[in-house]
Each structure stands twice: as C-alpha cells, then as structure tokens.
Amino acid sequence: METQLTLLFFVLVLSIFLGFELISKVPSTLHTPLMSGANAISGITLVGALLASGSGFVSQPLTVLLGTAAVTFATINVVGGYLVTNRMLSMFKKKKAE
Amino acid sequence: MILFEQFNSEIVVNLIYILAAMLFIFGLKMLGSPETARRGNLVSASGMFLAVVVTLLDQSIIDFSFILIGVCIGSLIGFFAATRVKMTAMPEMVALFNGFGGIASLLVGSSEYLVGFDPNSALLIAIYLTVLIGGVTFSGSLIAWGKLSEIISGKPFLYKGQQIVNALLLGFILLSGLEMIFFQGLFTENQFQILGIICLLAFTLGILFVIPIGGADMPVVIALLNSFSGLAACAAGFVILNNVLIVSGALVGASGLILTNIMCKAMNRSLANVLFSGFGAVTDTASGETADQGEVRPVNTADAYLILEAASSVLIVPGYGMAVAQAQHSVRELGELLEANGAEVKYAIHPVAGRMPGHMNVLLAEANVSYDVLVEPEDVNPIMETVDVCMVIGANDVVNPDAKENEGSPIYGMPIIETDRAKTVFVLKRSMASGFAGIQNPLFFKSNTRMLFGDAKESVSNLVAEFKG
C-alpha cells in the first residue's frame, strides 16, 4: 500500500513537470482547442465511474447510482469535448488553396 | 493458476493504461501546432477509447446495464451539445464541460467513500480532495456558464465583508476535512453527513470564487476551472489507485495552469493575485474620474470607405463586441475586399480578447479567415506606425492607451495593442459606454480616431456594400 502510494505520487510529480514542458509553447490560435481538448482528457475520470457503476446494484445500490450519474457526466465531457474540439479544429485553415 | 492469470491480466490492463497515457501525451503535444492539432485530438481520443475498453474488461464489473444507461445518455447529450452549439456560444460550452468533469470526479470520490472500506488516512485525504476540487469546479463552472450566457449578470458581484465570509468558509472547509480524515465522527453522526457538508461547502466555495469576477476576466477563470477539472480527476486517481487518471489529470491540470498564467500575464496580474487575493479584489470600480477628454469625432460609412479604399495596410482588432454582434463573417468579407483592393490585411488578437482563451481565433476560423494572418500584439506593436488604418471592432480595454500612459488607471501596465499609434483608427462601437472594466478609453478622443457608431455587424456590412459599389 505505502509503496504503491509513493509510486503513484512519483508518477504525479513527473506528469506535472511533463505537462508544463509539453504545453508551454502553444500559439494563441490554439488556446481554445487546447482547452477543450484537455477538458475531454479530464473526462478520464470515466474509468473510475465505470468501475463504480458496474459494481452490482443488489449489493451496492448507492455506489451504482452515484457511479451511473458519474458515468453520464463524464461521458458528456468525453464525447462532447472531443467532438467539439474536432469541429473547431476542422475550421482552422491556412490560406485558402484556390 | 487462477492467481497467476489474475496477476497477468492486471499487468496487461496496466500496460494498456500506460499506452493510453502515452496517447494523451502525444495528443496534447500535437495540439500545440496548427498543422497537427486535428490529428492530435484524434490520437488523444483513441487513448480515451482504449482506456475505457480495457476498464470494461475489469473483473469487478459484474453488471453492465447501468453503465450502458449512463454511457448512452451521456453520449447523446455530448453529441448534440458538441454538434449544435454555435461558435459564439463556445465559452459557455467549455465552462459547462469543465463543470461536468468536476462533478463526475466528485461522484466517483463520493461513491468510493460510501462503500465503507477500511478507513485509511491516505485514501481519505484523496477522497476529501476529490470531492472538494470536483465540487468547486462544478459550481464555479455553473456560475461561469451563467455569467457567459448572461443568465446572471456578467458584472462583478461585490458585497461587504466578502473577505470575512471567504475566510470563514475556508476555515469550515479545513475543519470538515479534519473531521473526515482524522476525527471521523467527532461532530457528525455518519459518513453521509460529513460528505454532504463537504459537498455543500465545496459548492459554496465555487460560487463565491467565481461570482465576484467580471465578464472581462472570464478567460482567466475558464482556464483555471479547466485546470481544476484535471486536478479533480487526478485526485480521483489516488482514490481508486489508478495511474492513467493521475497522469492525465496532472497533464490537464498543468495545461490549464499554463493557460491561466498566459491570461494573467496578458492582463498584467499575477497568478497569485488571481488564485488568492483575486477573490474580492478583481475589479475595483474606479470609474470615478470622467474628466472631460474633449470631443469624439464620428465618421459616416461613406467617409470611412474612402479612407479604407486608399489604405495599403489595414489592421483589424476584434473584441468581445464582434462576438456579440456575430460580425465575424462580415468582417472576413470586408477583409477579402480590402485585400482585393491591394491592401495588406492582418488581424491583431489580444490574448484576453473575448471571454475565453483563443475566443477570437475560433470565431475568425469559423468565418474562414486563414490563421496565418492572425497576429499577436507583440508582433504588430513595433510596426504600428506603418499601419494606415486600424479597425477596432468591439474591443475596448485591450486597446486602451491608459494602460501605458496613466499610472492611476486600474489597467496600468497591461500589455495592449497600441492602435493609437496607427495613422488612422476606426472604432466601431454601439455607443460611448465604457468597457467591462468600467474605465473611460482615451483612444476615442485622440485626434487620429474616428468613431463609427452602430451595431458592428451592420457597420461592417455597410462598408462591404460600399466596396461592392
């Protein structure tokens, strides 16, 4: 348990540094798509929601209900986030190729 | 043998989670450049697909019916929201999605808490943080959404004793955390009560955190809430001990913070100012001095056309007013006519123009303006003297010369687009009302400025009609 937590903490710290390195140079043209694309990624909490929602209604009714609500919200976030980002990015064009 | 298989599949699952995290990382990297951005989004989406599929194979899932219900409802809503939303309504949409991410994490944390595992303070801390951050993200985003869609007033809401209320609230939040993690039932009777109180406090904090912030500061708030939605997912990762949640949550948290920082720099306010003291001190309503600055010089469409027709370089500076008037398509048309007339046309976009980071870029992209004619203030300011005509369309505070000249101004020090140094400035504006910061703009009174009053879309369309003769 303790070693696992320490490892996860290690992962956290590295990911934060990675995130700062990765995104530090984004042209302002892409600020909105970056934000909505990142927002879609934050829907990863869906993974936890799926586990809770599928844990069996008979034995864990409350967990399942909360989990299902979480699945719904997280799915909106994931599906909506990726689609809207794609829609925006499809509009970004360089000089029209006529 | 069974043990061995279980061990094996757990390794496989974790390896696939790592693969998903890698796809997120590559996806985000590719989102950083216009050429690869669209593919990057697909790469990141495939990572999400992989993570979801492998999770569904988990042995602890014994009933798929509820999952199916949730996924169907969520996909439907997400699909319709994403395909139907107007580009001008994008800020509210992003705000709402941030909030959904937050509430999802809150629910995941709550369900784990109520399962009643053996109390372990590390997990309890993770649950507390998940619920707290998720709750703040949710209610804060709802308020931001309300302000952006003008369901509630976009004006900053300030009241007496704000700092005291905030301090008290933070105290209660700390206390409730101690109660959940260490006391475990000193003040409350059961887990439901503790959890309910923490949710309530988190929601209140989110509301009080966003409500004092005015419309013009929304880009900072949205970027920050974006970061929070990632951090909530990250905290949820510690609750269910899952590496992919932690990695992706942290990535989103970091990217949101970087954007927040860019927005703060563009307004000359520190991140700490927004995070901590920004609570109440966001917009001091220092609109007091309405000193007579002289006369404004209005111009009519015909005269404006003559000046534009003779111009060989035109710089268009859009702001929130262009979004409100939905003028982006007419603006593009005018831009094309000017180009056909031999002028060089560029669009100067301030990072905080509009209501979210990159707001103007999205609108102009929708109107088919090529992204390589969009320039940033620091590129265009040094050559401002060579610009024949600057057209300020619905922007105000980001072109206010007070930011450079008037030390007493609340926006003093904010980097601006220095349109006042162009040969001629057209300001398209509904009336003489001041901008969201509530400050008078001396640009309107400069001798090289001409005011073109009226609805931005109408004025631009009239100019287009003049060009077409």
Q: Which two tokens stand for residue B215?
A: 């419309």
B137/A contact by beta carbon, under 8 A = no
Work out the mean pLDDT of chain B and round it to a whole number.
86
- pLDDT bin (cut points 50, 70, 90) of residue B281 is very low
Section B333-351 average pLDDT = 91
Contact B218, B356 (CB under 8 A): yes
The H or E element spanning position B56 is helix B37-56
Is A23 contained in some domain? no
Give me the catalytic one of B397, B402, B420, B455: B397
Return the residue in B16, B22, B41 with the most chain A beta carbons within 10 A, the one to mutate for interface testing. Answer: B41
Q: What domain range includes position A81? A: 28-89
A98 chain-B contacts, CB cut-off 8 A = none
Distance from B22 to chain A by nearest Cα, in Å?
11
Is A76 contained in some domain? yes
Domains identified in chain B and CATH numbers: 85-279 (no CATH), 301-468 (3.40.50.1220)
pLDDT computed for residue B284 by the predictor: 43
Cα–Cα distance between A95 and A97 in angstroms, integer?
6
Contact B391, B428 (CB under 8 A): yes
Is A7 contained in some domain? no
- Reported as a single tens digit per residue, the pLDDT across B186-218 is 777 778 888 999 999 999 999 988 888 777 778
Is A60 contained in some domain? yes
- Reported as a single tens digit per residue, the pLDDT across B354-381 is 888 888 998 998 898 988 899 988 889 9
Task: Let me know the angle formed at the C-alpha of B318 by B317 and B323, rounded to the nearest 5 degrees.
Answer: 175
Is A95 contained in some domain? no
Is the model's pTM score more than 0.90? no
Choose between B220 and A96: higher pLDDT. Answer: B220
Write the CA distances from B394 to A17, B190, B302, B327, B436, integer angstroms. Answer: 38, 55, 20, 10, 11
Is A47 contained in some domain? yes
A48/B contact by beta carbon, under 8 A = yes
B272 pLDDT more than 60 = yes
Is A17 contained in some domain? no
A98/B contact by beta carbon, under 8 A = no
- Reported as a single tens digit per residue, the pLDDT across A27-73 is 888 889 999 999 999 999 999 999 989 888 888 888 899 999 999 99
ipTM above 0.90, yes or no: yes
pLDDT computed for residue B218 by the predictor: 83
Count of the separate structural domains present in chain A: 1
Is A68 contained in some domain? yes
3-state class (DSSP) for residue B347: strand
Give the least confident one: B83-92, B184-193, B332-341. Answer: B184-193
Choose between B417 and A23: higher pLDDT. Answer: B417
Write the CA distances from B169 to B164, B174, B276, B280, integer angstroms. Answer: 8, 9, 14, 14
CB spacing of B62 vs A55 below 8 angstroms:
yes
By percentage, how much of chain B surpasses pLDDT 70?
90
* Residues sharing a CB contact under 8 Å with residue B151, sequence separation 6 or more, in sequence order: B145
Quick one: CA dihedral B58, B64, B70, B76, positive or negative? positive
